[in-house]
Amino acid sequence: MNKVKVICDSTIDLNQDMYEALNVEVIPLSINFGEDAYDDGTEITPDQMYKMIEEKGELPHTAAAVPLKIEEVFRKYIDEGYDIIFTGIGSKLSSTIQNANIAKNAIEGAFDRIFILDSNNLSSASGLLVMKMCKYRDEGKSAKEIYDLVSPLVPMVSAQFAVDKLDYLHKGGRCSGASKIFGHILHIHPVIKVVDGGMIVYKKPRGKLKAGIDEQILELKNDLPNVDMDNIMITDSGVSDEDKQYFHDEVAKLVDPSIIRHTRAGCVVSCHCGPGTIGILYIKTK
């Protein structure tokens, strides 16, 4: 049986030390300000991006990893004797999965050695699937076995996050029902949820950001005990330490604190949700 290489795109929003510990290859998406393009996570950070947005007064465009770039990475590992399993941002939100399939089909003789999993999700929700892939890889399973084990988990992933304001989602057109009208006036911190691969405004709590956090805690409570206890993610795009600690402490009242992972959203996800966004992501067991 061939060795297995887990490859993902930069939107899965795990920290650099996690990528290294998991031994995964990350293919960056692009952040484009006019004609200037930057690789997500390697050539630009979220804080740098937010500063440029303030200076330029406009949001950047994001671009999927092109087939040729993905093909180069795939060929490298195929030539080294690996079989590959790849995932990234869901196909309803980006063309990266489609481009990965184009890259796969361009490599002669690799059809049964490269497996492309559509996460149907984003951010560390997709990251949870990568962590499962790595777990099964380390148990000695083949790429096909990993694909068969992780595929049924895709619809079981819960991804939700509270946003400080809807401006970014509204301008980017990424969220169904996203409207910034009256949001600031009414002090609404909407909770966005990923449903069927797209984003919807799930709830509209009023008050401080903690109100949006509390709605997510309630959702977790309702899903318990049917929640996978390998990892629970808390991911943000730049919120106060106080809000992050509050979220952590509330989740730690419900689950073993050792399974809570904190990550920072990368540029692609951050430029669509904006600063002041924080969410909880986990896999349900039924």
Residue 182, pLDDT score: 42
Q: How far apart are CA 260 and CA 16, in angstroms?
A: 17
Residue 173, pLDDT score: 54
Q: Is the dihedral of CA 231, 9, 271, 171 positive or negative?
A: negative
Domain with CATH 3.40.50.10170 in the chain: 3-33+62-154
Please give the average per-residue pLDDT across 23-46, as a whole number.
Answer: 96
Q: At residue 25, does pLDDT exceed 80?
A: yes
State pLDDT tens for residues 198-251: 888 888 888 889 999 999 999 999 999 999 999 999 999 999 999 999 999 999
Residue 33, pLDDT score: 94
Q: How far apart are CA 133 and CA 143, in angstroms?
A: 9
- For the chain, give the DSSP string: --EEEEEEEGGG---HHHHHHHT-EEE--EEEETTEEEEBTTTB-HHHHHHHHHHHTSPPEEEPPPHHHHHHHHHHHHHTTEEEEEEES-TTT-SHHHHHHHHHHTSTT-TTTEEEEE-SS-HHHHHHHHHHHHHHHHTT--HHHHHHHHGGGGGGEEEEEE-S-SHHHHHHT-EET---TTTTTTTB-PEEEEETTEEEEEE--BSSHHHHHHHHHHHHHHHTTSB-SS-EEEEESS--HHHHHHHHHHHHTTS-GGGEEEEE--HHHHHHH-SS-EEEEEEB--
State pLDDT tens for residues 57-109: 888 999 999 999 999 999 999 999 999 999 999 999 999 999 999 999 999 99
Q: Domain 3-33+62-154, what fold?
A: Rossmann fold (3.40.50)
Cα 146 to chain center, whole Å?
A: 19
Q: At residue 22, does pLDDT exceed 80?
A: yes
* Dihedral Cα 57, 270, 15, 9, nearest 10 deg: -110
Domain with CATH 3.30.1180.10 in the chain: 156-283
Q: Domain 156-283, what fold?
A: Hypothetical Protein Tm841; Chain: A;domain 3 (3.30.1180)
Phi–psi pair at 285, nearest 5 degrees = -95, -15
Phi–psi pair at 117, nearest 5 degrees = -105, 120
The two tokens of residue 48 are: 């740098």
